[in-house]
Amino acid sequence: MKRISLFASGSGSNVENIAAYFEQNKNVEIVSVLTNNINAGVIERCKRLGIPLIYLSSQALQTPGFIRDILLGQNLDLIVLAGYLKKIPDDLIEAFRQKIVNIHPALLPNYGGKGMYGMNVHRAVKEAGEQQSGISIHFVDEHYDNGDLIEQHAVQISETDTPEDIAQKVHLLEYEHFPKAIANLLDV
């Protein structure tokens, strides 16, 4: 049995998509979802899906070793950042080196780094006049959007596409490819 934990700060659409993908796979268990946002939509999704949720207060996030110790106790094979916006603590990265995976809504190394998430990315892509965007699935290291690339997938964008249109195209790529990449990493 492969055990994963998901981190999310927002609506939880990627969490739900990943849960649906693995729902019939008896070799994968979503042990927990962690969120730092008390108002996140992912909280209601987890209740509906029956997935244990852990809320990380600001104090918990600032307490050295707190998150690491919780996750070490869960005997995880992989940690998946599914729309999580906080920087991962260095002690957690060290404890789970090459076992923390993120998805970024652009083709890294372009449009990555602190503050480059969600619509900020799609607006920057539009303003730069790019002809394509996409997703980057990568391991997490000590720097934003810097870890080793696992895979990338691109989508064409037209000059008439709005940032919202780009976001929609990128979300479709996320929903299609992120669960498959997780399955490949878990070898299930």
Residues labelled as active-site residues: 104
170 is written with which tokens?
């990128």
CB 19 within 8 A of CB 30: yes
Contact 16, 49 (CB under 8 A): yes
Closest-CA residue to 147 (of 75, 60, 88, 86): 88
CA distance 86 to 56: 11
- CA atoms of 108 and 153, how far apart (whole Å): 11
Phi and psi (nearest 5°) for 140? -95, 135
Which runs of E-coded beta strand occur in 61-156? Answer: 78-81, 100-104, 132-139, 149-156
How far, in Å, are 136, 151, 181 from residue 178 at the CA level?
9, 10, 5
Q: Which two tokens stand for residue 3?
A: 């055990």
Taking CA 98 as the corner, what is the angle to CA 9 and CA 76, rounded to the nearest 5 degrees? 65
